[in-house]
Amino acid sequence: MPKLFGTFGVRGIANEELTPKMALELGQALATDLGGGQVAVGRDNRTSGEMLELALVAGLNSGGCDALKLGLTPTPVLSFATRRFSCQAGVMITASHNPAEYNGIKFWDNEGAGFPRWREEKIERILSRGPKMVDWRNIGRVEEADALPGYMDAVLERVPRLKHRFKVVVDGANAVGNLVTPRLLRELGCQVVSLNGQLDGTFPGRKLETVAENLGELARTVVGCRADLGIAHDGDADRTLIVDERGEVISGDRVFAHVALHYLRGKARPRILTTVATSSVLDDVAAKLGGEVVRTRVGEPELVEELRRGGGGIAGEENGGVIFPDWLLCRDGIMTAVQFLEALDQTDRKASEFNLTLPAYYQVKRRLECPEEKKARVLKRLADRFSGHRVNRSDGLRIEFEDGWLLLRPSGTEPIFRCFAEARTERRARELAALGLRELKAAISGR
Cβ distance to Mg ion smaller for residue 48 or 96: 96
300 binds Mg ion (CB under 5 A): no
Window 410 to 429, contacts with Mg ion (CB under 5 A): none
For 445, the 3-state DSSP assignment is: helix
Burial category of 104 from C-beta neighbours within 10 Å (exposed 0-12, middle 13-18, buried 19 and up): buried
Q: Which stretch binds Mg ion (CB under 5 A): 30-38, 181-189, 236-244, 253-261?
A: 236-244
Q: Which stretch binds Mg ion (CB under 5 A): 58-66, 231-239, 298-306, 419-427?
A: 231-239
Q: How many CB atoms lie within 10 A of CB 21?
A: 10
Report the distance separating Cα 364 and Cα 362, nearest Å. Answer: 7
Choose which of 120, 238, 332, 342 interacts with Mg ion (CB under 5 A).
238
Report the distance separating Cα 37 and Cα 60, nearest Å. Answer: 10
Q: Which is catalytic among the residues 48, 62, 96, 279?
A: 96
Least gap, CB of 208 to Mg ion (angstroms): 8
Cβ distance to Mg ion smaller for residue 236 or 306: 236
Least gap, CB of 96 to Mg ion (angstroms): 3
Least gap, CB of 236 to Mg ion (angstroms): 4
Rounded to 5 degrees, φ, ψ at 43 are -150, 155
Choose which of 33, 66, 236, 431 interacts with Mg ion (CB under 5 A).
236
96 is catalytic: yes
Instruction: Return the H-helix or E-strand segment holding 158.
Output: helix 148-158
Percent helix, strand, coil in the chain, to 5, is 40, 25, 40
Running DSSP on this structure, what letter comes out for residue 220? H
| Binding pattern for the stretch 82-101 against Mg ion, x by CB under 5 A and - elsewhere | --------------x-----
Least gap, CB of 97 to Mg ion (angstroms): 5
The amino acid sitting at 212 is A
234 binds Mg ion (CB under 5 A): yes
| Number of shown-chain residues binding Mg ion (CB under 5 A) | 4
Least gap, CB of 14 to Mg ion (angstroms): 17
DSSP-derived secondary structure for 73-108: --HHHHHHHHHHTT-SEEEEE--TTS-TTEEEEEEE
Residues of this chain that interact with Mg ion (CB under 5 A) are: 96, 234, 236, 238
- Positions marked active-site: 96
